[in-house]
Amino acid sequence: MTEFDAPVPFTSEDYAARMRGVVDQAVAAGLTGAVVTPGPDLVWLTGYQPTAITERLTALVLAADHPPTLLVPRLERPDAEAAEGATAVTFADWTDGTDPYDAVAPLLRGDGSYAISDSAWAMHLLGFQGVLPGSSYRSMTHSLPMLRAVKDANEIGRLAAAGAAADAAYGEIKKVRFAGRKETEVAADLAGLLREFGHSQVDFTVVGSGPNGANPHHEAGGRTIQPGDAVVLDFGGLKHGYGSDTTRTVCVGEPTSEIQEIHDIVRAAQQAGVDAVRVGVACQEIDRAARAVITEAGYGAEFLHRTGHGIGVTTHEPPYMVEGEEQPLVPGMCFSVEPGIYLAGRFGVRIEDIVTVTEDGPRSFNNTDHRLAVVE
């Protein structure tokens, strides 16, 4: 499907460079370093994801004054040492029956200020503060918003492959019957197609038919899809460890003039958002460009959400295309552009592509037809 269907493995130096980047960002933010617990940041930095995230403390400590150190429960150390990025870290461990916070204390400065994973357990944060009451911690997302925002060529290739797979799934789902079937049945078809085209993980398959399409995050339910329905299809997951996320709106049979009109407005708004993507433009300008089209058409109050979100090892991450986000776009940022109009109790329309910023403008990872498709 793409040259990245067999992805190039990340190297130890790739992981080491990422960890150095975190330290540099932390220092620039006035912090001592960062504490990374199990979750997407840990996977991105080390290639390691515990088979089961339990109450046992696992923490990667990054700071300028000592090498990257991954503290793990001793029983999980063999798995951690087998991770792709294991040679880029120093290992420490602790044993059941001992205090893990005594083990982590030597890795932290008593008066240090650290960014910490948003998903860190409160019991661990309290444990750190218990052994080092002079230390302080700040949200990773708020402190280091650019942590994973800029992708390298390997990551962009994986995102491109994921996007192409999602496009292929859309091409096939248009061939199935919609009318007379439940939303859950079409959603199951979508999930199967994503897996068929190489996704290892399916995160969501939104099938919002008729009035359910007016709920942007509707979960497919038992409603039977009717002739004449507009149906919002929003689906994605992970391929090669990187995300896909695309939305198209289809109509069961020929659309009414109103459905076609709303779709045309959203299509123009989505294109305006993509056209606004260029190096140096603030993230909020993408939102403004798309929103202006919808507002001018008289449906500003029916555009209920931000225009976009970043994507990488998770399907939602910084940067966000939303009013107030002044972070300038730089090459390698990857995010969605997904305006919508939602008419409560009637129907909704959304169109979404994942794009990346290049020196020459936007490059889209989704390239299926934006026109309103008619399905059976």
What DSSP string describes 319-336?
EEESTT--PBP-TTBEEE
So what's the pLDDT on residue 3?
A: 47
Same domain, 253 and 362: yes
Same domain, 355 and 257: yes
Domain boundaries, position 289: 153-375
Inter-helix orientation angle 153-173/183-196, to 10°: 140
**Within a domain: 75:** yes
So what's the pLDDT on residue 369?
A: 97
- Looking at 251-354, list the stretches that DSSP marks H as alpha helix, in order from N- to C-terminal side: 257-275, 283-296
Same domain, 251 and 354: yes
**Within a domain: 3:** no
Same domain, 111 and 195: no
**Within a domain: 1:** no
pLDDT digits (tens, 9 = 90+) for 225-260: 999 999 999 999 999 999 999 999 999 999 999 999
Backbone CA torsion sign across 147, 149, 152, 154: positive
Question: Structure pTM?
Answer: 0.94
pLDDT digits (tens, 9 = 90+) for 307-359: 999 999 999 999 999 999 999 999 999 999 999 999 999 999 999 999 999 99
pLDDT digits (tens, 9 = 90+) for 17-74: 999 999 999 999 999 999 999 999 999 999 999 987 789 999 999 999 999 999 999 9
Same domain, 246 and 350: yes
- Structural contact between residues 214 and 342, judged by C-beta atoms closer than 8 angstroms: yes
So what's the pLDDT on residue 292?
A: 98
Q: CB under 8 Å to 181, separation ≥6 — which residues?
A: 224, 225
So what's the pLDDT on residue 1?
A: 42
Grouping H, G, I as helix, E, B as strand and the rest as coil, residue 144 is coil
So what's the pLDDT on residue 264?
A: 98
**CA–CA dist 254, 375 (Å, integer):** 9
pLDDT digits (tens, 9 = 90+) for 108-157: 999 999 999 998 999 999 999 999 999 999 999 999 999 999 999 999 99
**CA–CA dist 57, 39 (Å, integer):** 13
Is the pLDDT score of 6 beyond 80? no
CA torsion, points 175, 179, 181, 183, in degrees to nearest 10? 80
So what's the pLDDT on residue 319?
A: 95
**CA–CA dist 360, 348 (Å, integer):** 33
State how many domains the chain has: 2
Confidence of residue 277 (pLDDT cuts 50, 70, 90): very high
So what's the pLDDT on residue 5?
A: 67
Last residue of a domain, one of 143, 172, 196: 143
Grouping H, G, I as helix, E, B as strand and the rest as coil, residue 118 is coil
How confident is the model over 276-284, as a mean pLDDT? 98
Enter the tokens of residue 337: 């552009």
Last residue of a domain, one of 104, 125, 143: 143
Cis? peptide before 319, omega within 30° of 0? yes
**Within a domain: 4:** no
Same domain, 264 and 333: yes
**Within a domain: 88:** yes
Same domain, 292 and 176: yes
Nearest to 223 by CA among 235, 208, 234, 233: 208
Same domain, 133 and 161: no
CATH code, domain carrying 309: 3.90.230.10
How confident is the model over 257-285, as a mean pLDDT? 98
Same domain, 42 and 64: yes
Classify residue 222 by its DSSP letter.
S
